[in-house]
Amino acid sequence: MDLAQLERQARGKLEPGAYAYFAGGTDDEVTAAANPAAWRRLRLRPHVLRDVGEVSTATTLLGTPVSLPVMVAPMARQRLGHPDGELATQRGAAGSGALAVLSTHATASIEEVAAVAPDAPRWFQLYVHRDHSLAEGLVARAAAAGYGAVVLTVDLAVPPNRERELRTPLELPEGVGLANLPPLAGEDVRERVGSNFDPSLTLQTIDWLRGLSELPLVVKGMLRGDDAAACVEHGAAAVVVSNHGGRQLDSAVSTAEALPEVVAAVAGRAEVYVDGGIRRGTDVVKALALGARAVLVGRPILWGLTCGGAAGVRDVLEGYREELERDLALCGVPTLDQLSADLVAMPGRLGT
């Protein structure tokens, strides 16, 4: 798997504004760069002489069986990368037995995406707008269309300062409108978030959302143990350790650094997932060893989608699978439930 090369290829195909939107972060992109770097800094302490004749990457996510502990992260406006957008992404994920999360800001409808792979596991990501009836409608549609969970994203309270996007603005072509929302005020993403997103979300928002459907609630955007524990106490079935791929608060802590604190605070009461900069099978091993049940992958999926549609998405996921199988074998760990934190030498714990 050569994701750097795939990104270069995708960049060559994308309008400069679309590439800036997909690749960029906020301010100086400190956190966007820190995410992959922090996974790389961790070292593994592999076992030997364990039978790794058969290695399995299978697991369950909130009870749903998946063949891979790698999910497709929710990402907006995928038709900027490929005419089939989210439909191709869902097909590619289904082809790999991986779970895909559909963004509120998708360019294909909740129902169309469900129809391309009716039996595939998929969740719906929710942004709460000031007009709460929008969330009520979206959750009802997701439940009716067979999505298995609502993923509430909580780290977009105010518009981000994405300077790369300001330098190379995105010109929205025809056909990449938001398929699941009525026309909203605001020309670009900053104005749209500023005029429409509800900045007053609290823990009570979780209580309200839980009452809207039977679907389990996942809260995405945790970087602290106390926040994660509070979400779980309000009934979240899972939390995602995430800094939005470094696209919200720049200088926010990297997700590899935040994960152990969140895992400790949640203390087994809910599932914990993590995303941001996961680019190798070894990154997945590290995340799961540190207590995540699964990871989400963002930008590499967009590069696969841009270069090859559904097949490109599947190839990226299969690349993660191949690396993960090999890395698990080399760590002497044949199944995911045998991963534990002692497999990772944290900086400072090296040599212990």
Question: Tokens 């800036």, residue?
Answer: 20
Out of 18, 71, 73, 170, the residue judged to bind ligand FMN by CB under 6 A = 73
Q: Residues binding ligand FMN: what is the number (CB under 6 A)?
A: 23
Whether 82 is catalytic is: no
Contacts of ligand FMN in 43-72 (CB under 6 A)? none
Contacts of ligand FMN in 254-293 (CB under 6 A)? 275-278
Report the residue number, 129 or 220, with the smaller CB distance to ligand FMN.
220
Task: Report which of 58, 59, 61, 210 is spatially closest to residue 121, judged by C-alpha positions.
Answer: 61
Report the residue number, 21 or 147, with the smaller CB distance to ligand FMN.
21
Q: Quick check: 22 binds ligand FMN (CB under 6 A)?
A: yes
Report the residue number, 57 or 103, with the smaller CB distance to ligand FMN.
103
Q: Quick check: 125 binds ligand FMN (CB under 6 A)?
A: yes
Burial state string for 54-71 with b = 16 or more CB within 10 A and e = fewer than 16 = ebebebebbeeebbbbbb
In three-state secondary structure terms, 25 is: coil
Out of 90, 180, 205, 242, the residue judged to bind ligand FMN by CB under 6 A = 242
Residue 144 neighbours by CB distance under 10 Å: 12
Contacts of ligand FMN in 92-111 (CB under 6 A)? 103, 105
Segment (H or E) for 70: strand 70-72
Q: Using CB under 6 A, which of the segments 111-119, 197-205, 260-268, 295-303 binds ligand FMN?
A: 295-303
Out of 26, 35, 180, 306, the residue judged to bind ligand FMN by CB under 6 A = 35
Q: How far apart are CA 225 and CA 263, in angstroms?
A: 7
| DSSP states of 130-163 | SSHHHHHHHHHHHHHTT---EEEE-S-SS----H
The torsion angle over the Cα atoms of residues 265, 277, 150 and 122, rounded to 10 degrees, is: -130
Q: Quick check: 192 binds ligand FMN (CB under 6 A)?
A: no
Give, in order, the Cα–Cα distances in Å from 196 to each of 21, 25, 204, 271: 20, 21, 19, 30
Active-site residues: which are they? 244
Residues binding ligand FMN (CB under 6 A): 21-22, 35, 73-76, 103, 105, 125, 153, 220, 242, 244-245, 247, 275-278, 297-299
